[in-house]
Homo-oligomer: A and B are copies of this chain.
Amino acid sequence: MKWYIDKGPESDVILSSRIRLARNLQGYPFPNRMTREASAKLGKEVLNSLKQRTDHSKGKFRTLEMSELGSEDKLALVERHLISEELTDPGLVRYAYISDDESVSVMINEEDHIRIQAMEAGLKLEEAYKAASDIAIHLEKTLQVGYSEKYGFTTACPSNTGTGMRASVIMHLPALTMTEKAGTVVEKIRKMGYSVRGYYGEHSSVQGSMFQISNQITLGLGEEELIVDLKKLISHIAEQERTARKQLSSKSPDLIEDRIFRAIGVLKYARKLSSEETLQLISEVRLGKALGIIDKPDEVNFNRIMSSIGPANIQKSEGRIMEPPERDKARALLVQREMEGV
């Protein structure tokens, strides 16, 4: 079962948690200065180590060599947050090592030699950290991982030096958005040294009131401390969102109800849907579920829809390259099927 076919704690506000750890090997230049030969050698070394692991709690792993994948397959992995766009750059031999449930992926020869990523549904940063660090510890035992007592783990970009960890959470803040408080909240989060992005990560803008919040500081604090701090912040924002939802539904219940049901109507009946509009509509229906206005769909359906509506995933599931208008039709059909029982 895929990791996102799950609700997780605090799923009324929190979609998912993610931990990413960066590690590099001694005796190799960073990927931006590496030769193709060196990248191939390093890749084999890391894969050999990974394949020695006997922990199969996340399912079997598959190894993907990037140059062997079609561009649509690569983009589909990016859309599902399984790899970064950087890993799809040609030049070096790059790998993705992905667990069957898609909750864990290891990128080899991305910006760093090794990036381990673990995802969980809901607010489960500790669990994600455990999954990622289990792999990191195994690699540290079997390979020469760069580490200094003073600075911590060596990384290609100094901003990651220290723990090499990025912890992030995707939050759904429709009530703060509707009441126009989201801007102020985001500003405060940024001032506290956290970064705020959209659902599709690094370069994406906020769509459908989905906010990705992550730490920027990696130096000077331990992993556990960073996670505790982020969790505190997330819980605080979640409470603000819940308060805003209560206010919305007590002040203008009819307006909210109308908006939610219209979103359902459009999701069920539209014959063309862009991914942006779909995210927005899903956001509204999800709010309806959280407010108890509707019974179905479940958070699980939302997560499944969201993981499959990106342009590349649409094309992958249809098995061919499509123009945007055609994709919008395929997306509408897919959403319609998911919304059938609603």
Q: How far is the CA of A240 from the CA of B262 in the complex (A)?
A: 34
The answer on a CB contact under 8 Å between A262 and B266 is yes
Interfacial chain B residues near A272, Cβ < 8 Å: 254-255, 258
Whether, in the assembled complex, A261 has its beta carbon less than 8 Å from a beta carbon of chain B, the answer is yes
Specify which of B265, B267, B268, B271 is in contact with A254 (CB 8 Å cutoff).
Answer: B271
Interfacial chain B residues near A264, Cβ < 8 Å: 265, 269
Chain B residue nearest to A260 in the complex (CB): B271
Complex interface bits, A269-290 against B, C-beta within 8 A gives 1, otherwise 0: 1111000000000000000000
> How many of these chains are in the complex?
2
List residues of A (220-269) whose CB comes within 8 Å of B's CBs: 254-255, 257-258, 261-262, 264-269
Chain B residue nearest to A266 in the complex (CB): B265
Whether, in the assembled complex, A80 has its beta carbon less than 8 Å from a beta carbon of chain B, the answer is no
The answer on a CB contact under 8 Å between B254 and A261 is no
Q: How far is the CA of A325 from the CA of B258 in the complex (A)?
A: 11
List residues of A (321-342) whose CB comes within 8 Å of B's CBs: 325, 329, 332
Complex interface bits, A200-217 against B, C-beta within 8 A gives 1, otherwise 0: 000000000000000000
The answer on a CB contact under 8 Å between B269 and A262 is yes
Q: How far is the CA of A270 from the CA of B257 in the complex (A)?
A: 9
Interfacial chain B residues near A258, Cβ < 8 Å: 270-272, 332
Q: How far is the CA of A264 from the CA of B264 in the complex (A)?
A: 12
Of A257, A265, A272, A329, most buried by chain B (CB within 10 Å of CB) is A265
Interfacial chain B residues near A268, Cβ < 8 Å: 265, 269
Chain B residue nearest to A259 in the complex (CB): B271
Of A254, A269, A270, A325, most buried by chain B (CB within 10 Å of CB) is A269
Specify which of B254, B257, B266, B271 is in contact with A266 (CB 8 Å cutoff).
Answer: B266
Distance (whole angstroms) from the CB of A272 to the closest CB of chain B:
4
Interfacial chain B residues near A261, Cβ < 8 Å: 269-271
The answer on a CB contact under 8 Å between A265 and B269 is yes
Interfacial chain B residues near A266, Cβ < 8 Å: 262, 265-266, 269
Interfacial chain B residues near A262, Cβ < 8 Å: 265-266, 269-271
Q: How far is the CA of A261 from the CA of B332 in the complex (A)?
A: 11
List residues of A (115-129) whose CB comes within 8 Å of B's CBs: none
Q: How far is the CA of A254 from the CA of B273 in the complex (A)?
A: 11
Chain B residue nearest to A293 in the complex (CB): B271
Distance (whole angstroms) from the CB of A287 to the closest CB of chain B:
14
Chain B residue nearest to A267 in the complex (CB): B265
List residues of A (2-30) whose CB comes within 8 Å of B's CBs: none
Q: How far is the CA of A332 from the CA of B255 in the complex (A)?
A: 13
Distance (whole angstroms) from the CB of A277 to the closest CB of chain B:
11
Show 27 A/B contacts (Cβ-Cβ < 8 Å), sorted by A.
Answer: A254-B271, A254-B272, A254-B325, A254-B329, A255-B272, A257-B271, A258-B270, A258-B271, A258-B272, A258-B332, A261-B269, A261-B270, A262-B265, A262-B266, A262-B269, A262-B270, A262-B271, A264-B265, A264-B269, A265-B265, A265-B266, A265-B267, A265-B268, A265-B269, A265-B270, A266-B266, A266-B269
